[in-house]
């Protein structure tokens, strides 16, 4: 869980900077990689590891699980976004 929270804190900070147009293209790519890593943590087994190939269905499943987690943990998400 700690890995997830660390990744999400970085991702939310990146997202805020990206919305403010304060990131370079390289930084945006790095932020996207952080998001992809966080999203993978909602999958099982070897699919959690960076570099594993996800099918479109697995990617969608990871996204939906992540979004459900955000809804269920709205207070924690707000706190992470505020850092």
Q: Write the secondary structure of 4-39 as one string of H (helix), E (strand) and C (coil).
A: HHHHHHHHHHHHHHHHCCCCCHHHHHHHHHHHHHHH
Domain ranges of the chain: 2-82
Residue-wise pLDDT for 3-60, tens only, equals: 899 999 999 999 999 999 999 999 999 999 999 999 999 999 888 888 888 999 999 9
The Cα–Cα gap between 81 and 47 comes to: 26
What pTM, to 2 d.p., does this model score?
Answer: 0.86
């Amino acid at each position: 869980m700690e890995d997830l929270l660390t990744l999400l804190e970085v991702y939310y900070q990146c997202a805020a900077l990206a919305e403010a147009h304060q990131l370079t293209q390289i930084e945006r790519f790095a932020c996207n990689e952080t998001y992809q890593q966080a999203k993978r943590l909602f999958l099982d087994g070897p699919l959690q590891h960076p570099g594993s190939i996800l099918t479109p269905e697995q990617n969608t499943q990871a996204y939906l699980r992540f979004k459900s987690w955000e809804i269920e943990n709205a207070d924690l998400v707000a706190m992470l976004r505020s850092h």
